């Protein structure tokens, strides 16, 4: 997967094609989210509606798990918002590149997930809106479609953990990171991000380590 | 409203606002050069942090488990310039096999 594609002649379809393996993986996880949501008391339509509007896997898993364990609505919403807080700085980095009228830009911003953003962002910090939209749509179809299948089929599906699929996401993120760290300053940023996350995991709620790594990268840049 | 639907509404609303915040704060004509310079290191830092949280943490605990071994196998594939899908597949396969033991 090329992450440093040229600025000219990029097409939405290129982003979609680049995202096909990612979208397939996301679909499997969408299915497992659908199963979890149904067994946690969500109606089929509610599970699909959450995937269609929230479109952020880790936050959805966290919110539904907390409700299933009797943790309460406020705790579920706070956990989800914390896990999604990284999309604040990510959205800021993407916004200048989104073209068109206000509504169109807001819609495009909703297609930002870790995977589509990684496929669309170039090594110099700029973002390809075509690749973002193409990859975002492919991953969105996988996530919402997978959720619908899982919520409808229920426990007939295999357990993703038994297939090792929960290990696929860190490997995916590592693969998206690998081509970027040939440059020494990017390598230092990655090391700093990993270190910040490692130190904060035992002491902060999930989501905080990643947002701290994002803050470190932006603040460290301005020196 | 039932609790599940309230969660759908509130989590959805919160996420939509967070994702749209950049667009609401910055116009499409704001300086792309300055933006790119400021966020040049965001992707490597966030991706590296996600690797850590997705492979070495279980909630708020640091753990070494089958996922960590799967990730190490994927790193070996990537270090040899192997393709992304092979690295991801290797991580899943190694993790699944270790769980069978």
Residue A222 binned pLDDT confidence (cut-offs 50, 70, 90): low
CB proximity list for A147: less than 8 A, separation 6 or greater: A30, A31, A33, A34, A37, A47, A48, A50, A51
Altogether, the residues listed in chain A come to a count of 223
User: Is A126 found in the same domain as A196?
Assistant: no
User: Is B46 found in the same domain as B23?
Assistant: no
User: Is A221 found in the same domain as A157?
Assistant: no
| Cβ pair B96, B88 in contact under 8 A | no
User: Is B53 found in the same domain as B25?
Assistant: no
pLDDT tens for chain B, 101 residues: list them: 799 999 999 999 999 999 999 999 987 777 788 888 889 899 999 999 999 999 998 888 899 999 999 999 999 999 999 988 899 999 999 999 999 98
Nearest to A73 among B7, B52, B99 (CB): B7
Predicted pLDDT at A165: 84
Q: Which residue of A has its CA nearest to B15?
A: A54
Q: Is a pLDDT exceeding 90 seen at residue A191? A: yes
User: Is A142 found in the same domain as A77?
Assistant: yes
Nearest to B11 among A50, A124, A209 (CB): A50
Predicted pLDDT at A196: 97
User: Is B55 found in the same domain as B68?
Assistant: yes
Q: What is the Cα–Cα distance from A107 to A17, expressed in whole angstroms?
A: 21
User: Is A198 found in the same domain as A157?
Assistant: no
User: Is B63 found in the same domain as B24?
Assistant: no
Q: Which of A111, A129, A119, A93 is nearest to A19 (CA)?
A: A119
Where is the domain boundary, A121, A137, A161? A161
Overall average pLDDT of the A133-153 stretch: 96
The DSSP bridge partners found for residue B61 are B58
Tell me the pLDDT tens digit for each residue of B74-98: 999 999 999 888 999 999 999 999 9
CA B64 to chain A, closest CA, distance in angstroms equals 12
ipTM: 0.91
Distance, first Cα to last Cα, chain B: 46
Predicted pLDDT at A4: 43
Overall average pLDDT of the A109-129 stretch: 94
Residue A40, CA atoms < 13 Å, CB-side half-sphere: 27
Domain count, chain B: 2
Q: Which of B83, B8, B96 is nearest to A2 (CA)?
A: B83
User: Is B29 found in the same domain as B18?
Assistant: yes
Q: What is the Cα–Cα distance from B19 to B35, expressed in whole angstroms?
A: 17
**Cβ–Cβ contact B63 with A under 8 A:** no
Overall average pLDDT of the A26-45 stretch: 92
Enumerate residues 3 to 62 of chain B having a beta carbon within 8 A of any beta carbon in chain A.
3-8, 10-16, 18-32, 35-57, 59-62
CA B20 to chain A, closest CA, distance in angstroms equals 6
Structural domain contains residue A1: no
Overall average pLDDT of the A57-71 stretch: 91
In chain B, count H helices and then E strands: 5, 2
The DSSP bridge partners found for residue A121 are A127
Q: Mean pLDDT for chain B?
A: 92
Predicted pLDDT at A9: 72
Q: Which residue of A has its CA nearest to B69?
A: A167
CB proximity list for A97: less than 8 A, separation 6 or greater: A126, A127, A128, A129, A132, B28, B32, B35
Q: By residue range, what is the domain housing residue A215? A: 177-223
Structural domain contains residue A170: no
């Amino acid at each position: 997967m090329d992450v440093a594609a040229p600025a000219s002649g990029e097409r939405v379809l290129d982003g979609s094609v680049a995202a096909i393996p990612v979208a397939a993986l996301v679909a499997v996880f969408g299915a497992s989210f659908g199963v979890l949501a149904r067994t946690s008391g969500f109606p089929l339509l509610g599970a699909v509606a959450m995937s269609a509007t929230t479109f952020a896997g880790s936050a959805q898993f966290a919110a539904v798990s907390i409700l299933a364990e009797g943790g309460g609505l406020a705790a579920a919403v706070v956990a989800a918002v914390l896990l999604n807080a990284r999309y604040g700085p990510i959205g800021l980095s993407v916004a200048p590149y989104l073209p068109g009228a206000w509504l169109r830009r807001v819609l495009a911003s909703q297609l930002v997930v870790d995977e589509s953003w990684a496929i669309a962002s170039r090594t110099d910090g700029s973002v390809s809106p075509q690749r973002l939209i193409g990859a975002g749509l492919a991953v969105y179809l996988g996530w919402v479609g997978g959720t619908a299948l899982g919520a409808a089929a229920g426990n007939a599906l295999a357990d993703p953990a038994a297939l090792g699929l929960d290990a696929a996401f860190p490997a995916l993120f590592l693969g998206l990171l690998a081509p970027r760290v040939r440059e020494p300053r990017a390598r230092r940023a990655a090391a700093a991000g990993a270190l910040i996350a490692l130190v904060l995991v035992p002491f902060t709620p999930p989501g905080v380590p990643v947002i701290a790594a994002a803050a470190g990268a932006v603040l460290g840049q301005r020196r | 409203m039932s609790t599940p639907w309230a969660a759908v509404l509130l989590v959805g609303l919160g996420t939509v606002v967070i994702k749209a915040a950049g667009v609401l704060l910055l116009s499409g004509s704001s300086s792309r050069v300055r933006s790119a310079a400021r966020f040049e290191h965001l992707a490597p830092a966030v991706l590296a942090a996600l690797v850590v949280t997705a492979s070495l943490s279980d909630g708020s605990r640091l753990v070494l488990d089958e996922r960590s071994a799967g990730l190490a196998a994927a790193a070996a594939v990537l270090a040899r310039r192997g393709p992304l899908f092979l690295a991801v597949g290797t991580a899943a396969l190694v993790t699944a096999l270790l769980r069978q033991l």
